[in-house]
Amino acid sequence: MKFSLGIFLPPTIDNDRYRTRVARWLYKFILLLLVMIGVQMVILVLRDNELFPWPSLPILLFVTAVNVLSLWLLHQGYIRMIGGFVVLSVFAAVSYVLFLSDGIRGPDVTMYFVLLTFTGLFIGRRMAFVFTAVASTMLAFLLYAEYSGWLHSDLPILPPVTVFLAYTFMLVLQAVLLYLMIGGLQESEAEARTAAAVISQSNESLRQKQAELTAALETLQLNQKELQENNQKLRDAKQEAEAASLAKNEFLALMSHELRTPLNVILGLGELMELGYTGELSSEQVEAVETMRVSGQHLLNLINDILNVSQSTSGNFALHLQPVQLAELCTDCLTLTKAAAQQKQIEVEINVKKLAELPIIEGDPVRLKQVFMHLLSNAVKFTPAGGRMGVVVTPDQAHQEICVVIWDTGIGIAPENLPHIFDPFVQIDRGLTRTYEGVGLGLSLVKTFIDLHHGRLEVESNLNKGSRFIVILPFEQPPVSD
């Protein structure tokens, strides 16, 4: 780096407060040393060597040069090196002056004590012991030199003013060193107190955080315990619900089987009576038997629906897949319901492409027939006399699906009731139960059978305008995973 007058400015060691503080103590001491050396040089020049012995000027110039170099190095961050330079240069200069002048009796001997304090403050305790040993050795050498006659015994005795200035110089340097030392101790103590306060505050904050964490942990443990209890209650409730559902399904299945057996006997007897195997019947008896047969068949259908719901909810329901011509199946179902539609003078339309152009899907023909019979029967049931209904079958080759739309111009469904029409045992309007027969299982079974075929069931309906039930089935069923 360039040598400039900036060396006389206080140094700053980047990102190191402690080194900066020590560097500035050393900076103050060197500046004071330069000032006092400058005063000695001025006195030496003005008084023509009356107060100081002859070698003082070159010694002072040497010490000045070393201290200026030390200021430059101080700005580079070489703190311990600078302390060593100052101690060595001043020790060498003082020892040289003592050897050439008064020896061990000279006032400059006190400079050793100043250098000892300086060494301990800026270089370290170990080097202070080393300097003590070196200085003691030098004093012993000066003592030996004086007794051996090596010193200049013919030099004049120093004037009192010179001795006064020398001792004053040493006292000032020693006072400055003590000031720096005590100031450093006070600063260190203040920093220690500040650090202790910060640590105490941090400890208090940590204690508060620990208390908060302990409280949070206790709350968490309490919540975890409550959660475990709630989970256990949920598991118990789930087990109870599953047990109740299983008992319900078993009861429904049992009752369905138990009811179907005597009901089939009743229907069989009614059919025999209609065929005349029990004797000729009067017109009133024929009408009564017909009513019995129709009501019995309706009851049997309800029992079959209940049995199907029981099997589907218990997971025991299985499809028997085989190739199905869906358009043909829909046409057959429409033929079965056409008589009921004609009784209400309902116009029936069918829009189906040629069977050769329609794909054959994979499905359970019995369950698919139930689906379309339910939808067509509902269309007849909820369409008033003189209305219209129909079936539209269209393939979607792009998505490998076939779409069946069953529409009517019946009473329709209110928008708020649409989300509930597939719930089992739910009638969308209790008032309809008195007008239209049923217990609310038909559409639930339709949705179940369509889902089992991996299809979709969509509904579009407007109140008093009619409904459209859209059945979408894939051409092929996906493979069943193990």
Which of 168-182, 298-312, 457-471 has the highest average model confidence (pLDDT)?
Answer: 457-471
Quote the Cα angle for 256-260-261, to 5°: 125
CATH number where 349 lies: 3.30.565.10
Tell me whether residue 182 is in a domain.
no
**Domain ranges, residue 105:** 5-158
pLDDT digits (tens, 9 = 90+) for 397-414: 887 888 999 999 999 888
Distance CA 446, CA 434 (A): 23
Q: Residue 405 phi/psi, 5° resolution?
A: -110, 125
Distance CA 428, CA 438 (A): 11
Task: Among 141, 158, 175, identify where a domain stops.
Answer: 158
Task: Among 104, 130, 158, identify where a domain stops.
Answer: 158
Tell me whether residue 60 is in a domain.
yes
Tell me whether residue 229 is in a domain.
no
Q: Residue 55 phi/psi, 5° resolution?
A: -80, 0
Contact by Cβ (8 Å): 249, 314: yes
Residues shown for the chain: 482
- Answer whether residue 284 shows pLDDT above 80: yes
| Residue scoring higher pLDDT (107 or 142) | 142
Largest Cα–Cα separation, the chain: 177
Task: Among 105, 132, 158, identify where a domain stops.
Answer: 158
pLDDT digits (tens, 9 = 90+) for 88-139: 777 887 787 777 776 777 777 777 887 777 777 777 778 888 888 888 888 8
Q: Looking at the 3D structure of the chain, how many domains does it have?
A: 2
pTM score over 0.75: no
Rounded to 5, what percent of the chain is helix, strand, coil? 70, 10, 20
Tell me whether residue 397 is in a domain.
yes
CB atoms within 10 A of CB 465: 11
Per-residue pLDDT band for 312 (boundaries 50, 70, 90) equals: low
Distance CA 253, CA 482 (A): 28
Tell me whether residue 26 is in a domain.
yes
Residue 31 is inside which H or E element, if any? helix 17-46
- Answer whether residue 74 shows pLDDT above 80: no
Contact by Cβ (8 Å): 296, 238: no
Strands (DSSP E) contained in 306-440 are: 322-324, 347-352, 361-363, 388-396, 401-408
Tell me whether residue 379 is in a domain.
yes
Tell me whether residue 145 is in a domain.
yes
Which of 13-22, 102-111, 185-194, 453-462 has the highest average model confidence (pLDDT)?
Answer: 453-462
Distance CA 376, CA 370 (A): 10
Tell me whether residue 307 is in a domain.
no
